[in-house]
Structure 1
Amino acid sequence: MKNTIAFTVLAFMSFSLFAQISEAKKATFFINVYINQDKDIRLEKDIVAFENIRNEVEKLVSSKMTNNKNIVYRIYADNSVDENYIDSVEQKMLNGKPNAEIMRFLLDKGSIDINGPNWFQKLEAVKLEKVKG
């Protein structure tokens, strides 16, 4: 009887440990969004209309086979963009893939010109301060 109980406890502990290791090995998939001062939304390299954000996020997530990945939305917005608009974009993204982590950065447009499809590479040269996430 003691052996059975000891085996059961050991099996349960092993299962718990395996589950934690599996969770820790999940890869992180980042989706980058830039909102400029004119409220143009660039999802990765493509400009997306506000009303299409959900569909485009769903397509992007499904194309990357992200079932076993943590999703993180990194939203970069010009500091002149109204916070309510940024919140609306964020909510549209969450409608496309809920349970994602959100990171938000405000940019001083005067210090860097990041318009264009290679906007994210230009950000790598700038030290950013996270506002949320």
Structure 2
Amino acid sequence: MTDIDEFLARVAPAKRRRDAERLISLMRDVTGEDPALTGSIIGFGSYHYRYASGREGDGPAAAFAPRKAATTIYLMDGVATHEEDLAQLGPHTTGVGCLYVKDLEACDLETLRRIIARSYATLTAGVMGNRASDA
């Protein structure tokens, strides 16, 4: 059993676990990368960021976290970039760089695939200079 399998076995409620399994498949397909578990975040690929302050680092280029209240999908290029697609997605809420989904079955998965693919492409195209809140 892998770390991800062990982690998923502990995810509750069952709907969140089901959505996590579906997102792993979708993100693996979109990114061509295998999932990696960091804490409670399941990430795919990586990107390098560098801020004007000189601070820099690496993060997952596509990622999500199955939280009790909702699944958090990280869009580090900012949710505003995906405004048009988000209008077509189905029930969700957003933060600056986060998309919160309570039930993937209520969402248009092709729209979600498009959002994740565009975000991943943006993040892996080169050095990401801005955080989502600065974009």
TM-score range, shorter chain: under 0.3
Structure of larger gyration radius: 1
